[in-house]
Amino acid sequence: MSLASARERLNAAARHIDVPEEVVKRLEYPMETLAASIPVRMDDGTLTFFKGWRSRYSDVLGPTKGGIRFHPDVSMDEVMTLAFWMTMKCAVVDLPFGGAKGGISVNTKELSEMEIERLARGWVRAFAPVIGAERDIPAPDMYTGPMTMAWMVDELEILRDRKEPGAFTGKPVSLGGSKGRDTATGRGAFHALTRLHGSLDLPKEGATIALHGFGNAAKAFAKLAEEEGYRIVSASDSSGGIFDGNGLDVDALIKAKESGGSVTAYEGAEEIDNDALLRLDCDLLVPSSLGGVIDETVAREMKAGAILEIANGPVTSDADSILRERGIEVAPDILANAGGVVVSYFEWVQNRSGDVWSLDRVQDRLQTRMNDACDALGKRMETVGSLREAAYVVALDRLATALKDRGTCRDFGGC
C-alpha cells in the first residue's frame, strides 16, 4: 500500500472527530526522510552500493520508533508508509513514541553473514546523525533480528565512543534486550484476539483460524490460540500452504517448518496455495506475511467471518469498504501487531533505567497495555462503526491533542 492510500484512513478518521484541518495536513507527510547510498566491500573484494532509507514521520508524542527491514522491494515510499503506520500504532497503544521506519533494498539470501554485517554497520554509519535513545530508536523488522541490532548498536557505540543500549531495541538479551521480545508481536495479537472476540463476532468456542504466513509472530500467536481452544485449520508460507479442517497440531507444524523449511513439510494435511487460503471458509483469517494481499477481488470472494492483521497493511484501502459492506470486521494492524513495539518500549525503559524485568513482568504489562488499547477501541467503535476507524480515531485524537497542547509555533510555520 502506498502512502497516499494509507492517508485515506487518516482522512476518514478525521471526519469522526473535531480536529483542525491543519493537524491532519501536518500528518499527511513525514517530518524527515533521508536516503543514502551504502557501500559494502563484498567477500570477493568488489565494492557494491545499496540504497538505504530512514523516515521519521512524527515526533509529537516522543522520539521516533520503528524497525529496519532488509528486502529487495524496500523503497522510499514503503518506508514512509510504514513510518506513518508506526506513528498511528504508537498512538493507539498510548506509547511516548512517534513513528519511524528504515530499510535497505537488498536480497539477504544472496549475501554471506559477513556481508550482511557490513551492510548493517554501513546503514548505521549513514544514518547515525538521527539515531539515539532520545531522538530515533530503530528495531528489527523483515529479514533483520537480534543479531542485526547487536551489530548496529555496536557500530553506533564505536562511532560515539560510549555505550548507548537504548538507541536500538530488539537486541539479544545478553546485550540489553528485553525478555519476551521474541514472541511479543504474536502474544500481543493473541491478546487483541481474546479481548476483541465479541467485536469480531466469533463463535464462543472452537473458532477456526487460517494463517496466511507462518513467521515468528504467527507461530507465537498460533501456539497461544491453540492453547485457548481456537482451531488452527490452515497455514502457509512462501512455498505454499496446508489445510486440515480438524485442526493442525501447532507444535508439529512449527517443527515441520523448522526442519523442512516450509509448512508444506507437515504430514497429514491437504496442500493448498496461498490464494486458496485467503478464500477459505473459516471464522478468522490472519494475514501475517506481506502487505496488500487482501485487495478488492479477495475482499469480494473471501469466506472468512473476520480478519486479524498481524502483517502491516495486508488489507488495501480499496478493500476496506467492501469488507464493511459484507459485515466482515477487521482487527487492524496498528493495534493487532503492536505487541512488538510495546515490548520494545519496555526494553527502552529498562535500558534507560538500568533495570532488568522478569519475563512475567514483561508479559503481564504487555497484556495490560493491549487490553487497555482494545477497550479504548471498543468504546470508540460504538460511534464510528468499525474497529479500523476506531483505531485511527483514537490515534488521531491523541496526536491532535499533543499538537494542540504544545502550541503552533513549532509545528505550523512559526509565530
pLDDT tens digit string along 283-300?
999 999 888 899 999 999
Residues labelled as active-site residues: 101
Query: What percent of the chain clears pLDDT 90, i.e. is strictly above it?
Result: 84
pLDDT tens digit string along 62-117?
999 999 999 999 999 999 999 999 999 999 999 999 999 999 999 999 999 999 99
Section 367-380 average pLDDT = 95
Section 232-255 average pLDDT = 95
Are β-strands 284-287 and 270-272 bridged in parallel, bridged antiparallel, or unpaired? Answer: unpaired
Section 239-260 average pLDDT = 94
Q: Which residues contact 244 (CB under 8 A, 6 or more apart)?
A: 233, 234, 268, 269, 270
**Around Cβ 128, how many Cβ atoms within 10 Å?**
15
Section 303-311 average pLDDT = 97
- In whole angstroms, what is the distance from residue 306 CA to residue 286 CA? 9
CA 102, 63, 95 angle in degrees (round to 5)? 100
- Return the bridge partners of 68, or none: 102, 140
Section 234-249 average pLDDT = 94
Q: Break the chain into its structural domains and give their ranges.
A: 31-175, 184-336
Q: What is the pLDDT of residue 415?
A: 53
Q: What is the pLDDT of residue 409?
A: 58
Please name the residue that has the C-alpha cell 529496519.
68
Section 342-348 average pLDDT = 98
C-alpha cell at 408: 503552533
User: Counting every residue, how long is the chain?
Assistant: 415
| CB of 178 closer than 8 Å to CB of 347 | yes
**At residue 357, does pLDDT exceed 60?**
yes
| CB of 200 closer than 8 Å to CB of 225 | no
**At residue 380, does pLDDT exceed 60?**
yes
pLDDT tens digit string along 1-46?
688 888 888 888 888 888 888 888 889 999 999 999 999 999 999 9
Task: Tell me the three-class secondary structure of the chain, residue by residue.
Answer: CCHHHHHHHHHHHHCCCCCCHHHHHHCCCCCEEEEEEEEEECCCCCEEEEEEEEEEEECCCCCEEEEEEEECCCCHHHHHHHHHHHHHHHHHCCCCCEEEEEEEECCHHHCCHHHHHHHHHHHHHHHHHHCECCCEEEEECCCCCHHHHHHHHHHHHHHHCCCCHHHCCCCCHHHCCCCCCCCHHHHHHHHHHHHCCCCCCCCCCCCEEEEECCCHHHHHHHHHHHHHCCEEEEEEECCEEEECCCCCCHHHHHHHHHHHCCHHHCCCCEEECHHHHHCCCCCEEEECCCCCCECHHHHHHCCCCEEECCCCCCECHHHHHHHHHHCCEEECHHHHCCHHHHHHHHHHHHHHHCCCCCHHHHHHHHHHHHHHHHHHHHHHHHHHCCHHHHHHHHHHHHHHHHHHHCCCCCCCCCC
Do domains 31-175 and 184-336 share one topology? The answer is yes
Q: What is the pLDDT of residue 298?
A: 96
C-alpha cell at 200: 469480531
- In whole angstroms, what is the distance from residue 106 CA to residue 259 CA? 26
Section 299-315 average pLDDT = 95
Task: Report the CATH superfamily, name and number, of domain 184-336.
Answer: NAD(P)-binding Rossmann-like Domain (3.40.50.720)
CATH class of 31-175: alpha beta
Predicted model pTM: 0.93
Section 204-211 average pLDDT = 94
Averaged pLDDT of the chain: 94
**At residue 406, does pLDDT exceed 90?**
no
